[in-house]
Amino acid sequence: MRSEGRAPFGLKLATLLGLLYLHVPMAFILLYAFTTDDKSYQFPPPGLTLRWFGVAWARQDIWDALWLSVRVGLIATLIAMVLGTLAAAALYRARFFGREVITLLIILPIALPGIVTGIALRAALNLADLPFSFWTIVCGHATFCVVVVYNNALARFRRTSGSLIEASMDLGADGFQTFRHVVLPNLATALLAGGMLAFALSFDEVIVTTFTAGQQTTLPIWMLSELVRPRQRPVTNVVAVFVIAVTLVPILLAYYLTRGTEHVAGGGR
Amino acid sequence: MITRQAPSATTAGGAAAPAVLLAEVSRQFGEVRALDRVSFAVEDGEFFAMLGPSGSGKTTCLRLIAGFETPDQGTIQIHGRPMAAVPPYDRNVNTVFQDYALFPHMSVLDNVAYGLMVKGVGRAERHRRAGAMLELVALAGLEARRPAALSGGQRQRVALARALVNEPEVLLLDEPLGALDLKLRQQMQTELKALQRKVGITFIYVTHDQEEALGMSDRLAVFNAGRIQQIGTPRVVYEQPATAFVASFVGAANILSAEQAEALTGQRQSCALRPERIRLNGAAPAELQAEGTVLDVQYHGASTRLRVALDAGPELLVDCPSEREPAAPGARVSLGWPRSALQPLSPETPG
C-alpha cells in the first residue's frame, strides 16, 4: 500500500508552501483581532490589545446574529438528519425504476452553485407569496445539509453487512426493533459526523442566506456588512476567530468519530 | 433446559408432522430459476444437509425456510404450520449466517441475549441464559468482548449460541464452517454434531463440502441447477448415487456411458464405479476384469490414485492402498471389480 521510498525535497517544499498558502491568511485574521489600530490593516500592527474582545462581547447586534446562526444551523441540521437518513436507507435498500435519477436529484443541491439555489428559492418563495423569515433561511440551508447527512449515512449503510438486518429479523426483532437496536447504533457515528458537517456548512453560509433572508442577519451576513464600513474593524476579526473556533470543533469531532470505521461492520471474518 | 420434547403439532391424521416440509417449491430470480419444484420433508430432530455446488439453489432453499425469500410457487410448512404469510421474526427458526452477522456494536453476551431481549425477557434472566449458552459452546469468560476481538472460530460459536439460545424448532446453518481453516473445520464438525445430539434440535445444514455433508448428516439432499438430484442417508447417496452428477459430486467416481459399460460388462446401462472398489492386479479372480496402461500416479497419503487407460477405451481412476509399491506410469495392469460395484445411473433429475 504505502510506498517505502521517501518523497523528494522539491515535493516536500511544494507541499509546505501549499499548506502555508492555505493557512497563513488565517493567522493574519487571528493577529489583527489583537491590533490597536481600528481603521486599516498595517503590518506589523502598531500594538496589541484585548479590548476588541470586550467591545465585541458588549455588542447586541453580534449576539443577535450569532444566536440566529446557531438556531438556523441546529434546525437545518435536524431536518437534514431525518430526511438524509431516510433517503439513504431507501436508496440503499430498494431497487426501483428512477432510482439513479433520485440519487442525482438529492446530491445536486451541493453541486449546484449556491447562487443558483439562492435565486431559485427566492423566485419560488416570491411565486408562492411566502414572506422571508427564519424558516425560509432554514429551508435554504437544509437543501445542502441533507446531502452531507445523506452521503455519510449511505457510506455507512454500504459498509454495514446486509445480513445484520436479516440476523436481527431472524432473532425475532420486528422492523422497529431492528432499526432501534441494530440499524441506528451502526449509523450513529456517521449521523453525528454528517450532522456536524451540516451544521458547520450552515453556520458559515452566505450566498443562499442572502437570497432567502428578509431582515434577519446571520453571523456571516453580519461580517459581510461590517466589511463595507471599517468602523471598529478588529471586532470583525474577533468574530471571525470565534467562527473559526466554532466550525473547527465539530469538524475535528466528526473526523475523530468516523476515524477507524473503515472496516466493514459485521463482516465477521 | 434446551432439550426439547417432541413437538405437539400434529397433522389431522394424528402422526407427527415433519419439522420442515417443502412441497413443489419454485423460486425465480429474473431469468434464473433458482429452485425448480423442490419437495422434501425433514423429520424432527434430524440433521439434514443440503449439498450442492454454488448456484445450485441450496442457499435459496434455506432462505425460503427462514422467511427471507418467499416462494413463487409451492408451500412450506414448519411443524405442520403453513409459512406463507409468516415473516422471519414470527418463525420459530433461527439461522447461523455464513458471515456470522454478529452485531459489531454489542458485546458477545448482548449478541447472544439479543433474541431474548427483543422478546421481552428480563435483563437478569436473559443474561443468565445467554451465559449458560456461551458455556455450552465453550466461550465462557469472553462475555464482555466485542465480536471484532474474537477469532473466526470463536465468532462461529457466538453465532451458534445466539441462534440456539432462542430454542428454535429448526436451526438453519448456511455454510457455517466455510470461513474456518481445515483443522478447525474438522474439529467444529465433530462439535456441531455432538451439540446437535445434545440439544435435539432439527438442523438444516447447507454446504458445498461433500465430506462435511457425509460425515455430519443423518440424511442429505444433493442439489444441482435448482433441483434435488437425490435424497438419502450418506451411505445410500455415496454407494447408490442416483445420477451421474451425484456420483461425481459426492466423492470421486468413474462414470461409464451406456456404450462404454456395454463394452466392459455386456450390459447396456450407464453406471458409476467408485475408484476404491477396483482391485489392481488382483490375487483373487474378480467378476469383471479389464486390461490397461497406467497414465498417471498421484500419491494421496493413505491411498494412491492411478489413472488407467483401458484397452477397451475409457479411462478409469483407481484408488489403491499406499502400502504397496504402486505401478509406474506406462506399466501394464489388470483391473478387476465385483459386479455389485457397478451402480446403474438414471438420467439427470429423476421424476
B192-217 pLDDT, tens digit per residue, is 999 899 889 999 999 999 989 999 99
Residue of B nearest to A268 (CA): B99
Cβ pair A171:B148 closer than 8 A? no
**Residue position matching grid coordinates 443440503:** B50
Which residue in A66, A42, A58 sits closest to A240, CA to CA? A66
**Three-state DSSP class for B26?**
strand
Cβ pair B114:A185 closer than 8 A? no
Asked if residues A222 and A67 have their Cβ atoms less than 8 Å apart, the reply is no
Q: How far is A218 from chain B (nearest CA, A)?
A: 40
Which residue in A164, A269, A182, A264 sits closest to B156, CA to CA? A269
- Residues linked to residue B49 through DSSP beta bridges, in sequence order: B205, B220
Q: What is the pLDDT of residue B245?
A: 93
Q: Are strands B73-78 and B20-29 parallel, antiparallel or unpaired?
A: antiparallel
Which residue in A70, A220, A79 sits closest to A144, CA to CA? A79
> Chain A interface, mutation test: which of B93, B105, B156, B167, most A Cβ atoms within 10 Å?
B105
Sort B283 into a burial class: Cβ within 10 Å, 0-12 / 13-18 / 19+: exposed
Q: What is the pLDDT of residue A256?
A: 80
Q: Of B94, B103, B147, which has the smallest distance from its Cβ to A182's Cβ? A: B103
CA atoms within 13 A on the CB side of A81: 20
Asked if residues A45 and A37 have their Cβ atoms less than 8 Å apart, the reply is yes
> Chain B interface, mutation test: which of A95, A165, A171, A176, most B Cβ atoms within 10 Å?
A171
Q: How far is B131 from chain A (nearest CA, A)?
A: 17
What chain A holds in terms of domains, given with CATH numbers, is 62-259 (1.10.3720.10)
Lowest mean pLDDT among A35-44, A86-95, B49-58: A35-44
Q: What is the pLDDT of residue A266?
A: 42
Q: How far is A260 from chain B (nearest CA, A)?
A: 13
Size of interface A-B (CB pairs under 8 A): 85
> Chain A interface, mutation test: which of B89, B108, B145, most A Cβ atoms within 10 Å?
B89
Q: What is the pLDDT of residue B13?
A: 44
Within 85-114 of A, beta carbons closer than 8 Å to B belong to none
What one-character-per-residue DSSP string does B268-315 give? ---EEE-GGGPEES-SSPPSEEEEEEEEEEEE-SSEEEEEEEETTS-E
- The predicted-structure confidence for A211-232, as pLDDT tens digits, reads as follows 888 888 888 888 888 877 766 7
Q: Output A37 or A9, whichever has higher pLDDT.
A: A9
Show the cell assigned to A129.
407569496
CA A119 – CA A210 distance, rounded (Å): 10
Q: Report, as an integer, the average pLDDT of A140-149.
A: 92
Q: Report, as an integer, the average pLDDT of A191-201.
A: 89
Q: What is the pLDDT of residue A2?
A: 52
Cβ pair A167:B147 closer than 8 A? no
Q: How far is A153 from chain B (nearest CA, A)?
A: 17
ipTM summary value: 0.80
Residue of A nearest to B166 (CA): A171
Confidence of residue A5 (pLDDT cuts 50, 70, 90): low
Lowest mean pLDDT among A132-136, A197-201, A246-250, B221-225: A246-250
Q: How far is A94 from chain B (nearest CA, A)?
A: 15
Check if A269 contacts B (Cβ < 8 Å).
yes
Q: What amino acid is encoded at B239 in this protein? A: E
Cβ pair A266:B66 closer than 8 A? no
Interface of B with A (CB under 8 A): 66-68, 87-89, 93-95, 97-105, 114-115, 117-119, 147-148, 152, 155, 159, 162-163, 166, 179
Low-confidence ranges of chain B (pLDDT < 70): 1-15, 283-284, 326, 348-351
Cβ pair B99:A161 closer than 8 A? yes
Q: What amino acid is encoded at A61 in this protein? A: D
Q: What are phi and psi of A154, to 5 degrees?
A: -65, -45
Q: Output B262 or A68, whichever has higher pLDDT.
A: A68
Q: What is the pLDDT of residue B2?
A: 45
Q: What percent of chain A has pLDDT over 90?
A: 28
Q: Are strands B254-256 and B303-310 parallel, antiparallel or unpaired?
A: unpaired
Q: What is the pLDDT of residue B11?
A: 42
What one-character-per-residue DSSP string does A169-236 give? HHTT--HHHHIIIIIHHHHHHHHHHHHHHHHHHHHT--HHHHHH-SS---HHHHHHHHHTS-TTHHHH
CA A61 – CA B118 distance, rounded (Å): 53
Q: What is the pLDDT of residue B50?
A: 96
